[in-house]
Amino acid sequence: MIELVVQQVSQAYGTRQIISDLSFSLAKGEIGCLLGPSGCGKTTALRCIAGFEPIQSGDIRVAGEVLSRPGQMLSAEKRRIGMVFQDYALFSHLSVAGNVGFGLHGASKTAAKARVDELLALVGLASHADKYPHQLSGGQQQRVALARALAPRPRLILMDEPFSNLDVELRERLSIEVRDILKRENTTALIVTHDQNEAFALADWVGVMHQGRIQQWDTPYNLYHLPSNRFVADFVGQGALLTGEVLNSHQVRTELGVLDGFVPPECNPTGCRGCANQCQVDVLLRPDDIVHDDDSPLLAEVENKAFRGAAFLYSLKLPSGQRALSLVPSHHNHAVGEKIGVRLSADHVVAFRRG
C-alpha cells in the first residue's frame, strides 16, 4: 500500500524557485532517501513534507490524506510525522527514558512505559534508560532521537542528515542499524543526506536531486549501474567516460572491447537524427568494470593509485591516452608508471549522447 505520495511539488522562497516538479512515492515500511549536493533543495523538500513550508503546486499525501496543496496546509503537529534532526535535539533535562516517552501524552502510564522499554530494547539502550543525554556518545544520542520519534507510532519518519555529526565508521554502522530498526517497526521513512554510502546502506529507493529536481528515483543498484543521465553517473560512485562507437541498438565498441548495454535512442541506427557525432557516444565504465589481468594483451599505464585496504583504486592511462579507473585486489601492488594488463568485465553498460 502506498503511504507517502509527493506529486509534482514546487516550492519557492520569494521569486527564487527552490524545488520543481518533485514526484515520488513510498509504500508502507519503505525507506526513501533524497541524495544530492549542498543547496539542491533536499531539506526544503523535507520541510514541505513535515508541514513547515507551504507548496506552490502539486500535493503531498500520507495514507491517502492530503497534507499540503497550494493554499492548504495541515499543521505540522497534526500530520503524525516524526522528525529526527542532525543535532539530535534531545531534551537535556530529561533522562533517556523521559526523552523517548516525551510524545506519549495520551497513553496510560503502563502503556507508555511498555512502549519506552520496547523501543530502548530495539535501539540497544535498555541499560541506559536513567542516563542523561550528556552522558551518551553521539551515536547513542542519535538512537535515542530515533526512538523518541518512533514512540508515538508516526505514519512517517523524516530524518535530516541524521549522521552528519558522527565519524565515518560510525555513520556506516549506524546507517545499517537504523535501517534494521525502521524495518522492524515497519515505519515508512524519508531521509536526507549528501552521503552516497549512507543512502545506499539505508534506503530501498534513492532520489538523486540537482537544482531542485529529482534526476532519477531508483534503487541504489540501478543508480550505480544504470544512471539515467550524466549528473547521476557523476554524482553516484566513481567512473570514467570512454569514447564508444555505436554498432547497433545495444552494442558499442570501445578501445577495451565491444560492450552490450543501453544506447541512447537518438544514437541507435533506427533513431539516428544525423547529428555531427558520427555515432560516437560516451560510455560509462565503473572501476569494477575494468579488471587487472596479467594475461591480457591490453596494457594500461598506472598513473595514480589509492590504497583502499582490500583493494587499490588505480587511475589508468589507456593506449589511446583516455583515462579509466580500475579496482584491483591490493595484493597486486603495482608502481606508478608501470604497465599492467587489463580487460573488461562489464556485462551491461550505459552510453550517453555526446555534446
Ligand X SMILES: Nc1ncnc2c1ncn2[C@@H]1O[C@H](COP(=O)(O)OP(=O)(O)OP(=O)(O)O)[C@@H](O)[C@H]1O
Query: How many whole angstroms separate alpha carbon 348 and alpha carbon 285?
Result: 10
| DSSP-derived 3-state class of residue 20 | strand
**Residue 87 touches ligand X, criterion: CB under 6 A:** no
Contact 32, 207 (CB under 8 A): yes
Binding mask 23-62 for ligand X (x = CB under 6 A): -------------x-xxxxxxx------------------
Nearest by Cα to 184 from 123, 248, 128, 260: 123
Shortest distance in whole angstroms from residue 81 CB to ligand X: 17
Query: How many whole angstroms separate alpha carbon 196 and alpha carbon 214?
Result: 15
The residue from 69, 79, 143, 194 that contacts ligand X (CB under 6 A) is 194
Shortest distance in whole angstroms from residue 49 CB to ligand X: 12
Shortest distance in whole angstroms from residue 353 CB to ligand X: 28
Of the pair 44, 141, the CB lying nearest ligand X is at: 44
**Residue 5 touches ligand X, criterion: CB under 6 A:** no
Shortest distance in whole angstroms from residue 295 CB to ligand X: 46
Considering only residues 217 to 276 of the shown chain, the ones binding ligand X according to CB under 6 A are none
Of the pair 26, 35, the CB lying nearest ligand X is at: 35
Of the pair 133, 207, the CB lying nearest ligand X is at: 207
Of the pair 36, 220, the CB lying nearest ligand X is at: 36
DSSP string, 38-79: TTSSHHHHHHHHHTSS--SEEEEEETTEEEEETTEE--GGGS
Of the pair 53, 289, the CB lying nearest ligand X is at: 53
**Residue 18 touches ligand X, criterion: CB under 6 A:** yes
| Site of grid cell 497534526 | 78
**Residue 75 touches ligand X, criterion: CB under 6 A:** no
Shortest distance in whole angstroms from residue 214 CB to ligand X: 12
**Residue 283 touches ligand X, criterion: CB under 6 A:** no
Contact 258, 284 (CB under 8 A): no
Contact 332, 312 (CB under 8 A): yes
**Residue 13 touches ligand X, criterion: CB under 6 A:** yes
**Residue 207 touches ligand X, criterion: CB under 6 A:** no
- Residue 308 is classified by DSSP as -
Full strand arrangement of the beta sheet holding 65-69: 16-27, 2-13, 57-62, 65-69, 72-73
Shortest distance in whole angstroms from residue 309 CB to ligand X: 28
Shortest distance in whole angstroms from residue 36 CB to ligand X: 6
Of the pair 159, 350, the CB lying nearest ligand X is at: 159
Shortest distance in whole angstroms from residue 18 CB to ligand X: 4
| Site of grid cell 594475461 | 295
Of the pair 42, 79, the CB lying nearest ligand X is at: 42
Nearest by Cα to 57 from 86, 113, 18: 18
Of the pair 40, 144, the CB lying nearest ligand X is at: 40
Shortest distance in whole angstroms from residue 41 CB to ligand X: 4
Assigned C-alpha cell, 221: 543498484
> According to DSSP H, which parts of the chain are helical?
42-50, 96-101, 109-122, 138-150, 168-185, 196-202, 220-225, 230-235
Query: How many whole angstroms separate alpha carbon 153 and alpha carbon 343?
Result: 52
Task: Count residues near ligand X (CB under 6 A).
Answer: 11
Of the pair 161, 185, the CB lying nearest ligand X is at: 161
**Residue 213 touches ligand X, criterion: CB under 6 A:** no
Assigned C-alpha cell, 236: 553516484
Handedness of CA 199, 200, 205, 206 (dihedral sign): positive
**Residue 15 touches ligand X, criterion: CB under 6 A:** no
Q: Which residues are near ligand X by CB under 6 A? A: 13, 18, 36, 38-44, 194
